[in-house]
Chains A and B, each alone.
Chain A
Amino acid sequence: MARDIKNALDIDTVLENAGILVCCGSGGVGKTTTAAALAVRAAERGRRTVVLTIDPARRLAQAMGLTELDNTPRSVPTVDGELDAMMLDMKRTFDEIVLAHSTPERAEALFANPFYQAMSSSFSGTQEYMAMEKLGQLRATGEWDLIVVDTPPTRSALDFLDAPNRLTSFLDGRFLKLLLAPAKAGGKAYVKVLGAGFSVFSRVITKVIGAQVLSDVSQFVAALETMFGGFRARAEETYRLLSMPGTAFVVVAAPEPDALREASYFVDRLAQDGMPLAGLVVNRMHRSAAESLSAARSTTAAEQLDEQGDHQLAAAVLRLHAERVQQAARERRLRERFTRAHPEVAVVEVEAQAGDVHDLAGLRRIGGELAGGLAEAS
């Protein structure tokens, strides 16, 4: 069907060879469904596969046998192969890292700190970072041939790549160092080390948010500090993992200007960071098997029938067909605009489904389409 795609994405070869497959794209383009479909297909083609999903729709989660959020991969028994699936629990993953890098007492103190609670459950970027962390953990067990990762539903696909950096630069921030200085220098050197900067700071803080907050912040920061080395090393390690051979990125988009623009940014960014891109999946494409009957011809015919005042059914069906052909043409133009700008990116299209996919049969069908685009193109 996608006969005009010159550079078709050969998804089965990707599934065969990749150790990590990351699905990215802006929110609402069908990323989670694509990740699940790819994982099912890989497992059924004989690879031991685990899929890490972030925020699946309830019924899709049920289709994968995910009934509880317990941060542990669970086997999906209905799949004809070895597939595990898990949903990311951001807070729990954060807690686990803290426990791994600290004494139990220190960890307890940190868990009780209101700033830790706020940051571990809602820091913009925590979800992305924890997805990366979990990916690193899954990979370290060596239990799976292939790890498929769905990325958080962010506004921008780039957030996922930026998360480790953001955390690292936060940990290296001048201000954080400033807050830590007293703990290092010990009581009296406090004011001396910090100088004017700190007196401004404490004046504003005390006035605007109060002294209690300042003490909570200091405690939080001091507790975090003991784990910094470990944090940074892990963030960098996971980031490296993503650029290694064996990792493949699949960018997912819908045939809409915003989603394809976002996909474009992401493709450029991957190239810039030297990360391996497998290709682009364009979901929700509309097609017509009778495009030779053009939109204009159909509309004229429908009008003609209206004038005759007869054959209402045929007139309506013709209008429907005209709409569909127009939509298909619009979507194809958008996709072509992308391929012209990025001829090196392999592409596969997936046809729009009448409803949302929430069973294994649906995931298999999409997996087939993801792989079948190639067969039809060649």
Chain B
Amino acid sequence: MTRQTPAFPYEASATAKHPFRDVRLHVVTGKGGTGKTTVAAALAIALAAGGRRVLLAEVEGRQGIAQLFDCPPLPYEERKVASAPGAGEVFALAVDPEEALLEYLEMFYNMRLAGRTLKKMGAIDFATTIAPGMRDVLLTGKVKEAVTREDRKRRTGQAYDAVVMDAPPTGRITRFLNVTTEVAGLARVGPIRTQADSVMAVLRSKKSAVHLVTLLEEMPVQETVDGVSELRSAELPVGAVLVNRTRDPLLSEADLAAAEAGGLDRAELAAGLKAAGIEADEPLLDTLTAEAADHARRVALEQEERGALEQLQRPTYELPQLPDSVDLGGLYRLAELLTEQGMAG
């Protein structure tokens, strides 16, 4: 097999210690059920550490951030939802396409009133229904605005040091981000097109990275692999692969192999149980060896999936399964782990 180095100059190095240090827009996607909102929130906290200010934006009207931080539903307004170690701040925003359009009309045309009239007439609903690409331009446009917003009062001159977007799932991410192509057929020229192009310029730059959250299971990994190749063909910068909810194998490698082959040392297991004061009858031994075999099969499958992810040659970070469902404390733990592995900091 000839080894080819893929030419994706706009992607961060896969081997650097802190490959995303200069990235200002972190787009987090993942198959449904992989925990992408949780990972996006943990990343926002990690990036905010050390007195930085980070915006965590959601774009699907799900109010997932509010649920996670246990606060009331977010309005169309940037609100502080968490602090990070060392006086860092995490703000959150639920981006709504209608509000984004009204804001846009006001900002560039001073036409907020006209916008309200259009909204009353159902025009905005109509426009975003027949042209979903326009909806995406409005959503990504608002996020891009936050990325580039200036604030002279801050030392960096920027309103936010980083923006984390909890983005649509892997199956739709390329379409969602590839706004220029999506609106090209609809608006060949004009301000919408100009706006789409300026969003695209930020998304395609080294200041952006699209991270993919996955589990070590067949379907999520397959979607991740497909997602990476779609993003690459759209020339969007693929960032990290984030493997969520990993579990350490509890058996030694030799025992795993034996368990999978159905040849676990039953006598030794029985002796061990006896030494711990547990009566090792045959049904119990059957159950325990079957459970060990299940575990071994799962570990083997996970290993296969890891191999498929390695082929992508992206920085890969793992987050363990937390003992209980993720609460605020769990988020900070995940943030620490991202920092320790070099994704943030």
Contact = CB atoms under 8 A, between A and B. Distances in A.
Q: Do A and B come from one complex?
A: yes
Interface of A: 26-29, 55, 57-59, 114-115, 117-119, 122-124, 153, 155, 170, 173-176, 178-179, 197, 200-201, 203-204, 207-210, 212-213, 216-217, 220, 254, 256-259, 288-290, 293, 297, 301-302, 304-305, 308, 310-321, 323-324, 354-356
Contacts of A114: 185-186
Contacts of B292: 317, 320
Interface of B: 31-34, 60, 62, 105, 109, 111, 114-115, 117-118, 121-123, 125-126, 129-133, 169, 171, 175, 182, 185-192, 217-219, 222, 250-252, 255, 264-265, 268-269, 271-273, 275-278, 283-284, 286-292, 294-295, 297-298, 301, 325
Contact of B192 (A208, A324, A356): A208
A296 B126 CA distance: 59
Contacts of A115: 130-131, 186
A356 B302 CA distance: 12
Q: Would you list the 8 A-B pairs with minimal beta carbon distance, nearest first?
A: A314-B272, A311-B272, A28-B33, A27-B32, A210-B190, A301-B276, A175-B122, A114-B185
A213 B190 contact: yes
Nearest to A126: B132
Contacts of A354: 294, 297-298, 301
Given A173-B126, A305-B272, A314-B273, A204 B31 contact: no
Main secondary structure of the interface of B (DSSP, over half): helix
Nearest to B191: A208
Nearest to A197: B121
B16 to A, nearest CB: 33
B295 A212 contact: no
Contacts of B222: 57-58
B201 to A, nearest CB: 20
Nearest to B169: A27
Nearest to B115: A204
A302 B287 CA distance: 17
Nearest to B111: A204
Nearest to A32: B219
Nearest to B295: A320
A289 B192 contact: no
Contacts of A304: 276-277
Nearest to B101: A208
A318 B275 CA distance: 13
Nearest to B294: A354
Nearest to B270: A314
Given A178-B121, A320-B292, A209 B301 contact: no
Given A28-B33, A289-B287, A118 B118 contact: no
A244 to B, nearest CB: 29
Contacts of B188: 212
A175 B121 CA distance: 6
Contact of A314 (B34, B191, B269): B269
Contacts, number: 199
Contacts of A212: 187-190
Nearest to B255: A313
A197 B111 CA distance: 14
Contacts of A317: 251, 264, 269, 272, 288-289, 291-292
Contacts of B34: 28
B118 A293 contact: no
A320 B250 contact: yes
A173 B122 contact: yes
A123 B129 contact: yes
Contacts of B295: 320
A289 B290 contact: yes
Contacts of B126: 170, 173, 175-176, 179
Contacts of A313: 251-252, 255, 264-265, 268-269, 272
A197 B109 CA distance: 18
Contact of B186 (A118, A203, A308): A118
A366 B125 CA distance: 43
Contacts of A118: 130-133, 182, 185-186
Contacts of B130: 115, 118-119, 123, 217, 220
Contact of B276 (A209, A213, A311): A311
B182 to A, nearest CB: 8
B114 A200 contact: yes
16 contacts: A59-B218, A117-B185, A153-B32, A173-B125, A174-B121, A175-B121, A175-B122, A200-B117, A204-B105, A209-B190, A308-B275, A311-B275, A314-B268, A317-B291, A355-B297, A356-B217
A320 B126 CA distance: 55
Q: Which of A212, A317, A324 has the most CB of B within 10 A?
A: A317
Contacts of B187: 209-210, 212-213
Contacts of A320: 250-251, 288, 291-292, 295
Contacts of A324: 291
Contacts of A355: 218, 297, 301
Contacts of B286: 289
A362 to B, nearest CB: 12
B276 A290 contact: no
Given A213-B190, A316-B250, 12 more contacts: A28-B31, A114-B186, A155-B60, A175-B123, A175-B126, A200-B117, A204-B118, A208-B190, A209-B192, A210-B191, A213-B186, A314-B276
B276 A124 contact: no
A336 to B, nearest CB: 16
Contacts of A288: 287, 291
Contact of A201 (B121, B133, B269): B121
Nearest to A355: B301
B119 to A, nearest CB: 10
A119 B186 CA distance: 11
A318 B272 CA distance: 10
